[in-house]
Amino acid sequence: MYATAFVMDTVPEVALCNASILLYPIPALLRLCRIELSNGEFHVWHEACTPGVEKAVAAPEGKIAAILRALDFPVPFCKILFEKRYAGILDEKRTLFRKIGSKGPSKSTDRHISEDVPGVVAPVSSP
């Protein structure tokens, strides 16, 4: 158990209120060419989290919020969930992760792409 883990009441909350479903698979998908050419040396926070990619990460939040509202659940946003999970301010943690060189997927078949994109990103991003 992570020290910053917290309890949620329902499965939909756990599935939809998870900052990782937006923070990792979308940048990985958008930088797939770089991942395939990296020979395992792809650093997601340094190479993938550019301003344009961060806009793409934020885009599905509106759909997730609509689903949560329809289910009558609270609507926490990615930044708040990230800060709660990692016990710190997003911009500070992003800087730390870039500095320590947090590695991302090493190949196009890693779970960030093979599981998270079709299982989570596609459903909340579709019309």
pLDDT averaged over 10-residue windows placed end to end, the chain, 127 residues: 69 73 78 86 77 78 82 75 70 70 78 75 64
Q: What is the pLDDT of residue 43?
A: 77
- 103: nearest Cα among 26, 3, 50, 24: 24
In a domain, 117, yes or no: yes
Q: What is the pLDDT of residue 38?
A: 87
Q: What is the pLDDT of residue 124?
A: 65
Q: What is the CATH number of the domain that holds 38?
A: 1.10.1040.10
In a domain, 3, yes or no: no
Cβ(11)–Cβ(73) under 8 Å?
no
- Per the structure, the complete domain to which residue 21 belongs is given by 11-121
Q: Name the amino acid, one letter, at 106.
A: S
In a domain, 40, yes or no: yes
In a domain, 5, yes or no: no
What are the C-alpha distances in Å from 49 to residues 9, 52, 107?
31, 8, 18
Cβ(6)–Cβ(86) under 8 Å?
no
Dihedral angle, C-alpha 98, 22, 16, 69, nearest 10 °? 110
In a domain, 96, yes or no: yes
Task: Tell me how far apart the alpha carbons of residues 98 and 92 are, in angstroms, rounded to a whole number.
Answer: 10
In a domain, 127, yes or no: no
In a domain, 115, yes or no: yes
In a domain, 26, yes or no: yes
Q: What's the number of domains the chain is made of?
A: 1
Q: What is the pLDDT of residue 42?
A: 81
